[in-house]
Copies of this chain bind each other. A is one copy, B any other.
Amino acid sequence: MTKQKFLDIQSSRWMEGTGPHSDIVLTSRIRMARNLKDLPFPCLAAEEHREKVLERVQEAITDQQEIFEDYQMIDLSQLSSIERQLCVEKHIISPELVKEAKNSRVLLKEDESISIMMNEEDHIRIQSLLPGLQLENTWRKAEDIDNALEQCLDYAFCDEMGYLTTCPTNVGTGMRASLMMHLPGLAMTKQINRILSALYQVGMAVRGLYGEGTEVVGNILQLSNQITLGQNEREIIRNLNGVVRQLLDQEEGARQILLNECREKMADRAGRAYGILSNARMITAQEAMQLLSDFRLGVDLGLLEKVDRRMLNQLLVMISTSYLQNLEGKEASDYDINITRAGLIREKLANGA
C-alpha cells in the first residue's frame, strides 16, 4: 500500500491554528454517535452485521454523492496498527478504532475536518473538527452530515430518550462537544487543579490530548460535556461555550500576571525551551510536549519571535511516537525514536514552517 495523504502531516485543517482565540483554543470538535435501527449494536454484532453497516452507509454516501465528493474511504484493517495510531494522534479517528480494525472504516474529508467512523463503539460516529473556538460552526458541519446520512438511514431513536447508543453516557443527543485547550498560565500559577475540580462539578469532563484515559501533558487538555441527556444540542454548546469563556478569562488573567510579575523568568523559560528543542539530539515525547508548551507560551506572550502556529500544531503530532514509528517504517526502539524526534524538531524549527 502506498503512503496515503492522510498519513502525511501537512493535511489537517485543524492544524492551521486559525479561528477565534487560537492562542488558547487549539480545536473545536463535535462528535455524534449514531446506530442503525434494525442491526445489533457493535458490542453484540456478528461480522455479517458489521458488513451490513458498511453496505448501508456506502449506499447513503452514494445517494448523497455531491456532499461526499471530496471524501475518501479508508479501510482501517488495511492499515498497520502504527498507521491507525497515527490517525488517532491526528484526531481523525478515536482510540477505540485502533484495537478493533476488522470491518472498521473511516470516511474522511479531504481537509480532515470531517470524519465518519463505521463500526466503532457505535455503528456510526460523525466527527467535525475545526481550529480555534468555533463550536457552533463545527456543530453545523456535523449536523449537515448527520442530516444527509439520515435521509437514507434509519437511526435507532426513541422519542423519550433520543438517539440510542452503545454506552448509556451517550444516549440522548449522542453528541459530545469538546475543545482542545492550551492552559500553561493556569498550570504555572498553580490554579489548574482547583479549576479542574470545579469543571467536573459543572458536568464537564477533562481529558488529555488523545481523549479518555490519556494524561494531560504539555498543558494541553480536552474539555467536553459530560451530559448528553436532558439537554439539546444547542444547550450543550451554550453551556460549554459559557464554561470556555470563563476559562479563557482565567487563562488570559494568569498569563497577564506571569507577564507582569516575572517577565524575565518567562522569557528565560521560553528561550531555554526553544534552545533545547532546536539543539537536542534525542528527546522523549513527554519532554518535547512540555518544552513545546513553554515555547508556544513564549510566542503567545510576545517574548519570543513570532512563529507559524501551524508549525507548532504540526509538531504536536510529529513528536508522537506513532508518527515517528510510521515514518521509520518499522517498530523502532525508543532510543531511535528519541533521536528521530529530536532531528525532526530541529529541522522543523530551522525551517521555521
> Counting CB contacts under 8 A, is A267 at the interface?
yes
Collect the chain B residues with CB atoms within 8 Å of residue A342's CB.
268
| Cα distance, A276 to B273, chains bound together (Å) | 8
Looking at A10-18, A111-119, A279-287, the stretch in contact with chain B turns out to be A279-287
Copies in the complex: 2
A interface, size bucket: 10 to 19
User: In the complex, what residue of chain B is closest to A268 when comparing beta carbons?
Assistant: B281
Shortest 4 CB-CB distances between A and B: which pairs? A275-B279, A275-B275, A268-B281, A271-B279
- Which residue numbers of A lie inside 8 Å of B, CB to CB? 264-265, 267-268, 271-272, 274-283, 339, 342
Q: Which residues of B contact A280 (CB under 8 A)?
A: 268, 271-272, 275
Pair B264/A274 contact, Cβ less than 8 Å: no
Pairwise interchain contact A265-B282, C-beta atoms closer than 8 A: yes
Q: In whole angstroms, how far apart are the Cα atoms of A279 and B273 in the complex?
A: 8
Are A264 and B278 closer than 8 Å at their CB atoms? no
Residues of chain B lying within 8 A (CB to CB) of residue A339: 264
Q: What separation, in Å, do the CA atoms of A283 and B267 have in the docked complex?
A: 12
Measured CB to CB, the closest approach of chain B to A278, in angstroms, equals 6
A107 to B322 alpha-carbon distance, docked (Å): 67
How far, in whole Å, are A232 and B276 apart by their CA atoms in the complex? 52
Distance of A268 Cα from B341 Cα, bound (Å):
12
Bound-state CA distance A278–B281 (Å) is 16
B282 touches A264 (CB 8 A): yes
Listed by A's residue number, 13 A-B pairs whose Cβ atoms lie within 8 Å are A264-B339, A267-B281, A268-B280, A268-B282, A268-B283, A268-B342, A271-B279, A272-B275, A272-B276, A274-B275, A274-B279, A275-B278, A276-B276
CB distance from A352 to the nearest CB of B (A): 15
Report the minimal beta-carbon distance from A262 to chain B, rounded to whole angstroms.
10
Verify A264–B276 contact, CB threshold 8 A.
Answer: no
Neighbouring B residues of A283 by C-beta, 8 Å: 268
Looking across the interface, which residue of chain B has its beta carbon closest to that of A303?
A: B281
- Sample of 10 more A-B contacts, CB < 8 Å, known A264-B281, A271-B281: A265-B281, A267-B281, A268-B282, A268-B342, A272-B275, A272-B280, A275-B275, A275-B279, A275-B280, A276-B276
Cα–Cα, bound, A268→B267 (Å):
23
Shortest CB-to-CB span from A188 to chain B, Å, is 16
Q: How far is the CB of A156 from chain B (nearest CB, A)?
A: 54
